[in-house]
Amino acid sequence: MSIWTRISEALAAIRAGEGLAAVFERLRTPPERTVAFTIAVIALGAKMAKADGRVTRDEVAAFREVFHIPPSDERAAARVFNLAREDVAGFEDYARRVAAMFRTDGAPCGRDSVLCDLMEGLFHIAAADGAWHPGEEAFLARVAAIFGMEEAEFRRMRARNVPGETDAYAVLGVDPGADLETVRAAWRAEARATHPDRMLARGVPEEAVKLAERRLSAINAAWDAIRAERGAA
């Protein structure tokens, strides 16, 4: 059974009146946590796509970039996205349920967190049309607050994804005055947290490993830029 079939069944249960809380409770344990992760990206991504007042083809295409969707599952995936977009439930309810599921120790949402992976996908969808709208900024800030995301991590993620943000130091979360070894350590820590195997272990489905590729590319580009800058100096 494909992940999209399992997701369709979960959303059908919600629409049939089972309730979001009950469905997410059933998705708490592996491997069903990957279904919960995907539902969260679908539901929050679909709602966020309207935060700037419209849903563009770029934003829908971005969702397809986050998840590898086999041709045989494309129709099912489209139905799931449309169901989530039409659902009248507020995005904050989804965010709270997901936060409760993946924050078992009450620790802040740092870089090595499935909630951080989820936020990465939402940032990618928001920035897909090449513009950055205040409504999207407010949406993401609110979800990050519900997730308990550290402010420094939010800034790093914003620098990696928002069009026009080119601050390599912000991408790695280091001060521009930091010595090169400190910058190198930050780069290595970000790269380790972004490795696909680490993401899969956290509960990110295989269909979403493209998130790791994009994130690692931005991290490596920032490190290369800083090395080149220091070398030129």
Are 38 and 67 within 8 A, CB to CB?
A: yes
What average pLDDT does the segment 130-139 reach?
84
Measured N-to-C along each axis, helices 91-102 and 33-48 cross at an angle, to the nearest 10 degrees, of 150
The whole-angstrom separation of Cα 191 and Cα 194 is: 5
pLDDT digits over 198-228, tens only?
Answer: 888 877 777 677 778 888 888 999 999 999 9
What average pLDDT does the segment 25-30 reach?
71
The whole-angstrom separation of Cα 172 and Cα 175 is: 9
Judged against a pLDDT cut of 80, whether residue 139 lies above it is answered with: yes
Confidence of residue 175 (pLDDT cuts 50, 70, 90): very high
Rounded to the nearest integer, the mean pLDDT of the chain is 79
pLDDT digits over 59-110, tens only?
Answer: 667 677 677 677 777 776 777 667 666 665 678 887 887 888 777 555 556 6
The pLDDT of residue 41 is 78
The whole-angstrom separation of Cα 41 and Cα 210 is: 14
Number of domain units in the chain? 1
CA 45 to chain centre: 9
The pLDDT of residue 144 is 93
What average pLDDT does the segment 174-186 reach?
93
Q: pLDDT: is 176 or 35 the higher one?
A: 176
The whole-angstrom separation of Cα 84 and Cα 125 is: 15
The pLDDT of residue 181 is 93
Share of the chain above pLDDT 70, in %: 76
The pLDDT of residue 58 is 66
193 token code pair: 């947290």
Q: pLDDT: is 121 or 15 the higher one?
A: 121
Confidence of residue 40 (pLDDT cuts 50, 70, 90): confident
From 41, 186, 200, 25, select the one nearest 121 (Cα to Cα). Answer: 41
- Domain around 153: 3-232
The pLDDT of residue 30 is 67
Q: What is the pTM of this model?
A: 0.77
Average the pLDDT over each of 46-50, 119-123, 129-133 and give the range with the smallest value.
Answer: 46-50
The whole-angstrom separation of Cα 58 and Cα 217 is: 21
The whole-angstrom separation of Cα 213 and Cα 206 is: 12
Residue 117 to residues 31, 97, 233, Cα–Cα distance (Å) = 17, 16, 35
The whole-angstrom separation of Cα 211 and Cα 193 is: 12
The whole-angstrom separation of Cα 94 and Cα 146 is: 10
